[in-house]
A = this chain, B = another copy of it.
Amino acid sequence: MTSSRIPEEIHDRCSHCIGREHSICRAIEDCDLAILASESSKMTVPNGRSFIEEGSPAHDFFVVTGGRVKIFTLLPDGRRQITGFAEGGDFLGLAASKSYAFGAEALGTAVLCRFPHASMQRLTDRFPNLEHRLRQEASRELTLMQARMTLLGRKTARERLATFLMERIKLLGPMCQGTPHQIELDLPMSRTDIADYLGLTIETVSRVLSAFKREGLIGIRGITHITIMQPERVSAIAEGLE
């Protein structure tokens, strides 16, 4: 009994994981989940703790299996650009060759699944389909980044905030997007994080959100809770149409 206990647990770790449905792990068949589990390890990161240091040697890939994470790069004088937020199912670590091109830190308590490069190598050797999934993941990320570059290079502060809100709405999943009016949003990140994500200052973020509220586009209750009152108009602003 004891001898079969541990593998059973390991198998369970993967089969119940959010990554099973949404992440690269779905490239692997149920019957092979034990192998997947044996090549990876679970990791809990407390709020605010950095777990990838920009420029440090890249040893691991990660899948976010719980909570949220922010990805960023720094300039020597401390200016920060958040290049993305990652959450359940997101894959981390593609933007690296010998060393990581970015830093990462938990936004709230985050749970991660860590895959050492050597493990991933063994997995891709054994499951060729996984390599294809990694490419898909990279493509998705590239597509997002292209849109973000346009945001950072060419959009006004209003357009950036509107785009950001629409992005958060899309993350809620397709079921919430058709909602006739009023969409409830929870922003888990601070104003500082939003500012560093959008290439603005915290004051500008605050002012633009207040302006949106004054114009009846959104409602703000508490700091994190936002109601989108007029999704259509917010969307139009995001695209630069008003």
B146 touches A83 (CB 8 A): yes
Q: How far is the CA of A240 from the CA of B73 in the complex (A)?
A: 14
- Once the chains are docked, how many angstroms separate the CA of A124 from the CA of B97? 22
B199 contacts A101, CB within 8 Å?
A: no
Q: Is the CB of A240 within 8 A of B154?
A: no
CA distance A48 to B141 in the complex (A): 28
Residues of B within 8 A of A96 (CB): 139, 143
Majority SS at the chain A contact face: helix
Binary per-residue interface labels of chain A (48-62) against chain B in the complex, 1 for a CB within 8 Å, 0 otherwise = 000000000000000
Asked if B143 contacts A142 (CB within 8 A), the reply is no
Any B CB within 8 A of the CB of A16: no
Query: Once the chains are docked, how many angstroms separate the CA of A95 from the CA of B145?
Result: 9
Task: State which residues 151-200 of A face B: CB under 8 Å.
Answer: 152-155, 196, 198-199
- Whether B199 lies near A142 (C-beta < 8 A) is no
CB contacts (< 8 Å) of A140 on chain B: these are 97
Q: Which of A106-114, A126-134, A211-219 contacts B (4 or more CB under 8 A)?
A: A126-134
Q: Which residue of B lies closest to A149 (CB)?
A: B83
Partner of A73, one of B102, B138, B141, B146: B146
Using CB atoms, name the residue of chain B closest to A160: B153
Number of copies: 2
Which segment of A4-12, A32-40, A74-82, A202-210 sits at the interface? A74-82
**Which of B81, B138, B155 is within 8 Å of A94, CB to CB?**
B138
Whether A135 pairs with B146 at a CB distance below 8 angstroms is no
The answer on a CB contact under 8 Å between B102 and A146 is: yes
Assess whether B155 is in contact with A152, with CB atoms less than 8 Å apart.
no
Which residues of chain B are within 8 angstroms of A132 by Cβ–Cβ distance? 124, 131
> Which residues of A, 102-126, contact B by the 8 Å Cβ criterion?
102, 124
Known: A128-B131, A131-B132. A101 touches B143 (CB 8 A): yes
A142 touches B101 (CB 8 A): yes
Quote the shortest CB–CB distance from A132 to chain B (angstroms). Answer: 6
Residue pairs across A and B with Cβ atoms less than 8 A apart, 20 shown, are A73-B146, A73-B149, A73-B150, A76-B241, A77-B240, A77-B241, A79-B154, A79-B155, A81-B149, A81-B153, A83-B149, A95-B143, A95-B145, A95-B146, A96-B139, A101-B146, A101-B147, A124-B132, A138-B139, A142-B142
- In the A-B complex, the 6 residue pairs with the closest CB atoms: A153-B199, A138-B138, A152-B152, A95-B142, A81-B150, A101-B143
